């Protein structure tokens, strides 16, 4: 009798792979066994239908399972098997287990949730092997119930029968439970008093629809929820959160409802319905009629479908088309996850609280994606994707690397056995609580990937980031080599990895990244061969009065950019007449900034493209104060989106030392002239945005010719701007180059840690 040994790697544990194998084996009269073995699944199969069996393993795999490789060999086996068995897990410590991410409710569970005759009818924590929490409930590995936060909820008799039956969908489903044995919901008022009700979700919906703001604890985190149809309520939430403009994502019950107010293409629809269930940024359509306060000025909006049973149940009791679903956190701090903190810290923000008694071991914010020209761009890669690893075997097979990212919008990455585990979204680590979250996150991800030591620690070049000093500390602790990686170099490495190229010229355009000349870079043309990089060109260096304060009030930067264009009195009058209210202290501050520039006092230099876009936005009166990351340039994009005019701005290139630079003063000068001529703001916005894009594109083409390279890429947060990204593409392709952009990774700083891990491992390997 033929006997084969099959070894399968990928996301094959905790996803029902073994029971599925059992069912296939039984159908095909295969005997033998299946077991988890460290980071892989091993099968011994004996019988007549071996080929069909192996084919079925990949063709009929469970929905969540991802197979990276199947290897099999015939073995000499004297033993006859008379049955097919699922053996106990054996932990092989040399491997790296791959824990699945949290997953949206599956079709089967949804059916049961709505089935009056099912014992889990309307049970808000319904889950099975194909869906439910994983990453956010797991404390340590191997992934068994007693090492998850489900340990507080021993299985009842009925659930245990399902759990132990290989033919049941809930065989070893660690999050399985029912209303007899599982977690439960409780509703609280603003005094933290429990409101007793037989149906807390129905009651919560009544309160929401009456105009209250609700904090709702979900699977991996907490949302603030309110109606989308009432301007006063949204404005009230904004006031209480001190979040005046940041767009709120909204949840609708189904795709048909979303289509009534947004344009959805096939890719977007598939992502919305996917088991990862991210927020997808889509364009508002012409029937969009929700209050502007939901996403002020923007032409797009983040939408999401229900992914946990609690969300599905919400929509069973309402006629509202959507609810605001925004992460419940104090701005700048991590999302709140434990009941006491939620009740305390959101006191005064939420009117009511719908909480449950299952602990969240590891918070995980909603993921946010946007499709740009058919390519998936992660704005935030978190719930549903973390901790699914990137395959980095081409850079390293055996090094253990910890890469700490930069500072804002941070993630960290652990590279082990050639797999790059990028953490969930951590946030801005210049806040203490977020920094703490980073340290907890490192501990947790090290634990679930069984990483006890590191060979390399990678950090940003910036000397003053908290992550840089943490890197020094950890490199001493582990006796690991410390590598400092330039910010845009890291962006470029991700781009190269994403598109499988080893050498490229690319545009790195973002807010800020510390350069090797100690200047704040952000509008760069770099050459890279993964291990090293060379700066080829950039935007013209500009003084940024007071540094960070000019980021918040971009009119200060605009004044600096135009400083040499006008004589001082002209400049003063221009700003006094047009932009005084965009300075915190009006005229006084205008005079002060002029003096500052005159004396060259506290005026760091930057080549940031993000800041130039902000200055265009303020020059056109679109956004004078930044209240969230990317606000001024996002609004610029939305205004420009409405233009079909082909107004052009002339480009001027200069030399800075040996380096070609695009003169951004010349662009802003023309913007002001066009505005003074009374041309339409949206047309100028489009022309100015295009000028920055084409200018960068031209310098990249020159750089690629110089380096004899045929691939040009573009990355960095600025590339979330669809118009800019597409203009660059068009220009570059017209010149005969292959254009690449992020596809399946973050263009923004969320993937800096991944780039750091790639570069440091590559250099060492
Ligand atoms: Zn399910
Ligand atoms: Zn039960
Ligand atoms: Zn960046």
Distance 227 CA to ligand 1 centre (A): 28
Q: Which residues surround ligand 2, an ion (CB under 5 A)?
A: 156, 159, 178, 180-181
Q: According to the model, what pLDDT value does residue 93 have? A: 46
* pTM score, whole prediction: 0.94
Report the distance separating Cα 301 and Cα 308, nearest Å: 21
169 Cα: distance to centroid of ligand 1 (angstroms): 8
Distance of alpha carbon 385 from the chain centroid: 9
- Distance between alpha carbon 446 and the CA centroid of its chain, in Å? 20
Which ligand is in closest contact with the Cα of 752? 3
Instruction: Please give the distance, rounded to the nearest whole angstrom, from the Cα atom of residue 125 to the centre of ligand 3.
Output: 39
Residue with tokens 């502007």: 292
CA atoms of 91 and 200, how far apart (whole Å): 42
CA 116 to ligand 2 center in whole angstroms:
17
487 alpha carbon to ligand 3 midpoint, in Å?
A: 6
CA–centroid distance, residue 472 to ligand 3 (Å): 22
Ligand 3 centre from 524 Cα, in Å?
11
CA of 470 to the centre of ligand 3 (A): 20
CA 156 to ligand 2 center in whole angstroms: 4
Distance of CA 654 to the CA centre of its chain: 37
Any idea which ligand is nearest the CA of 107? 1
Q: Is 416 helix (H, G, I), strand (E, B) or coil?
A: strand
Residue-wise pLDDT for 248-276, tens only, equals 999 999 999 999 999 999 999 999 999 99
> Would you state the structure tokens that stand for residue 741, as one six-digit string?
């952009």
Going by their DSSP bridges, the two strands 31-37 and 84-86 should be labelled as parallel
Contact of 409 with 748, CB cutoff 8 Å = yes
Annotated catalytic residues are: 18, 36
Category of 290 on φ-ψ map: left (φ > 0), alpha (ψ -120 to 50) or beta? beta
The domains found in the chain, sorted by start residue, are 3-86 (3.30.70.100), 97-182 (3.90.870.30), 185-356 (3.90.870.40), 374-496+749-756 (3.30.420.360), 540-691 (3.30.420.40)
Pairing of strands 745-746, 375-380: parallel
| CA proximity to 520, closest of 497, 492, 541 | 541
What is the C-alpha separation between 356 and 369, in angstroms, rounded? 28
Spatial contact of 714 and 739, defined as CB atoms under 8 Å apart = yes
Ligand nearest to the CA of 108: 1
The predicted structure's pLDDT at residue 142: 75
pLDDT of residue 15: 86
What is the 338 CA–ligand 2 centroid distance (Å)? 24
Gap from CA of 690 to ligand 2 centroid (Å) = 59
Peptide bond into 142 cis (omega under 30): yes
> pLDDT (tens digit, 9 = 90+) per residue, 41-91?
899 999 999 999 999 999 999 888 888 889 999 998 888 999 999 987 765
- In this structure, which ligand is nearest to the CA of 182? 2
Query: 307 alpha carbon to ligand 2 midpoint, in Å?
Result: 22
- State which residues of the chain have pLDDT below 70: 38, 90-97
**Ligand number with the minimum distance to the CA of 123:** 2
Measured in Å, residue 465 CA sits from the centre of ligand 2 at 48
**For residue 716, how far is its CA from the centre of ligand 3 (angstroms)?**
5
Pair type for strands 456-460 and 481-485: parallel
Q: Are 361 and 143 in contact (CB under 8 A)?
A: no
- Strand 653-656 with 185-189, pairing: unpaired
- 63: CA distance to ligand 2 center in Å? 24
* N residues, the chain: 765
Distance 523 CA to ligand 3 centre (A): 10
Between CA 556 and CA 599 the distance in angstroms is 15
Whole-number Å distance between alpha carbons of 102 and 88: 24
Instruction: Give the tokens for residue 58.
Output: 């990949």
Give the ligand at the shortest distance from the Cα of 129.
Answer: 1
Q: Which ligand is nearest to the CA of 162?
A: 2
Distance from the alpha carbon of residue 749 to the mean position of ligand 3, in angstroms? 5
Of the candidates 102, 91, 101, which has an alpha carbon nearest to the alpha carbon of residue 141? 91
| Structure tokens, 677 | 């001529």
Nearest ligand for residue 126 CA: 1
Ligand nearest 130 Cα, by number? 1
Q: How far apart are CA 454 and CA 144, in angstroms?
A: 26
**Span from the CA of 180 to the centroid of ligand 2 (angstroms):** 5
What tokens does 181 get? 């044995």
| Alpha-carbon span 652 to 496, nearest angstrom | 30
Q: 284 φ, ψ to 5°?
A: -65, 145
Per the omega criterion (within 30 degrees of 0), is the bond before 387 cis?
A: yes
User: Would you state the structure tokens that stand for residue 151, as one six-digit string?
Assistant: 């340990």
The answer to whether 371 and 270 are in contact (CB under 8 A) is no
**Non-local CB neighbours of 658 within 8 Å, separated by 6+ positions:** none
Judged on CB neighbours under 10 Å (0-12, 13-18, 19+), 344 is exposed
Say which ligand is closest to the CA of 176: 2
Residue 36's pLDDT is 82
The encoded tokens of residue 111 equal 């059916």
Taken in order 476, 479, 481, 483, is the CA torsion positive or negative?
negative
């Amino acid at each position: 009798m033929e006997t084969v040994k099959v070894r399968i790697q990928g996301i094959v544990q905790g996803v029902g792979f073994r029971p599925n194998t059992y069912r296939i084996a039984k159908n095909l009269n295969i005997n033998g066994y299946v077991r988890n073995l460290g980071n892989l699944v091993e099968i011994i199969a004996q019988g007549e239908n071996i080929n069909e069996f192996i084919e079925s393993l990949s063709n009929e795999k469970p929905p969540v399972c991802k197979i990276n490789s199947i290897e099999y060999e015939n073995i000499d086996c004297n033993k006859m098997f008379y049955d097919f068995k699922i053996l106990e897990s054996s932990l092989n410590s040399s491997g790296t287990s791959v824990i699945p991410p949290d997953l949206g409710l599956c079709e089967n569970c949804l059916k049961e949730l709505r089935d009056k005759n099912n014992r889990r009818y309307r049970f808000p924590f319904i889950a099975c092997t194909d869906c439910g929490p994983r990453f956010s409930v797991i404390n340590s590995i191997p992934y068994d119930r007693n090492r998850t936060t489900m340990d507080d909820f021993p299985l009842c008799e009925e659930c245990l029968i399902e759990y132990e039956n290989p033919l049941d969908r809930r065989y070893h489903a660690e999050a399985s439970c029912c209303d007899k044995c599982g977690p439960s919901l409780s509703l609280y008022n603003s005094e933290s008093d429990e409101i007793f009700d037989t149906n807390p979700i129905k009651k919560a919906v009544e309160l929401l629809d009456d105009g209250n703001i609700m904090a709702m604890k979900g699977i991996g985190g907490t949302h603030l929820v309110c109606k989308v149809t009432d301007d006063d309520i949204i404005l009230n939430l904004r006031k209480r959160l001190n979040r005046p403009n940041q767009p709120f994502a909204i949840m609708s019950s189904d795709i048909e409802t979303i289509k009534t107010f947004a344009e959805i293409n096939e890719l977007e629809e598939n992502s919305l319905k996917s088991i990862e269930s991210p927020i997808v940024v889509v364009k508002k359509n012409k029937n969009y009629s929700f209050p502007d306060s939901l996403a002020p000025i923007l032409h797009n909006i983040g939408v999401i479908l229900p992914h946990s049973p609690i969300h599905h149940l919400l929509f069973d009791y309402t006629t509202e088309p959507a609810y605001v679903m925004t992460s419940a956190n104090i701005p700048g701090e991590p999302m709140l996850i434990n009941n006491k903190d939620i009740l305390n810290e959101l006191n005064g923000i939420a009117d009511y609280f719908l909480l449950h008694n299952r602990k969240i071991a590891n918070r995980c914010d909603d993921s946010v994606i946007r499709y740009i020209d058919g390519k998936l761009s992660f704005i935030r890669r978190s719930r549903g994707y973390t901790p699914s690893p990137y395959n980095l075997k081409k850079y390293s097979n055996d090094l253990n690397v910890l890469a700490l990212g930069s500072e804002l919008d941070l993630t960290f990455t652990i590279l082990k056995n050639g797999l790059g585990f990028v953490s969930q979204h951590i946030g801005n680590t210049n806040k203490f609580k977020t920094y703490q979250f980073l340290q907890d996150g490192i501990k947790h991800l090290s634990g679930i990937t069984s990483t006890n030591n590191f060979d390399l620690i990678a950090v940003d070049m910036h000397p003053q980031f908290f992550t840089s000093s943490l890197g020094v500390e950890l490199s001493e602790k582990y006796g690991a080599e410390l590598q400092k990686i330039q910010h845009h170099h890291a962006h470029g490495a991700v781009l190269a990895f994403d598109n499988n190229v080893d050498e490229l010229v690319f545009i790195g355009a973002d807010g800020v990244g510390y350069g090797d000349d100690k200047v704040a870079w952000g509008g760069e043309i770099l050459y890279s061969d993964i291990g090293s990089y060379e700066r080829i060109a950039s935007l013209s260096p500009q003084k940024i009065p007071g540094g960070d304060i000019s980021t918040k009030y971009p009119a200060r930067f605009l004044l600096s950019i135009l400083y040499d264009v006008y004589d001082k009195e002209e400049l003063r009058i221009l700003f006094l007449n047009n932009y005084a209210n965009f300075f915190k202290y009006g005229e006084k501050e205008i005079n002060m900034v002029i003096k500052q520039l005159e004396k060259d006092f506290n005026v760091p230099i930057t080549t940031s493209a993000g800041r130039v876009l902000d200055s265009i936005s303020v020059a056109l009166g679109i956004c004078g104060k930044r209240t969230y990351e990317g606000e001024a340039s996002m609004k610029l994009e939305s205004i420009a989106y409405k233009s079909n005019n082909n107004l052009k701005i002339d480009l001027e290139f200069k030399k800075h030392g040996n380096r070609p630079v695009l003169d951004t003063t010349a662009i802003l000068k023309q913007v002001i002239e066009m505005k003074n001529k009374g041309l339409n703001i949206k047309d100028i916005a489009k022309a100015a945005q295009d000028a920055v894009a084409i200018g960068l594109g031209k310098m990249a083409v020159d750089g690629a010719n110089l380096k004899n390279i045929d691939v040009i890429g573009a990355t960095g947060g600025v590339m979330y701007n669809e118009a800019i990204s597409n203009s660059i593409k068009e220009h570059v392709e017209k010149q005969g180059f292959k254009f690449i952009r992020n596809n399946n990774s973050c263009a923004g700083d969320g993937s800096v840690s991944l780039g750091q891990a790639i570069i440091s491992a590559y250099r060492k390997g």
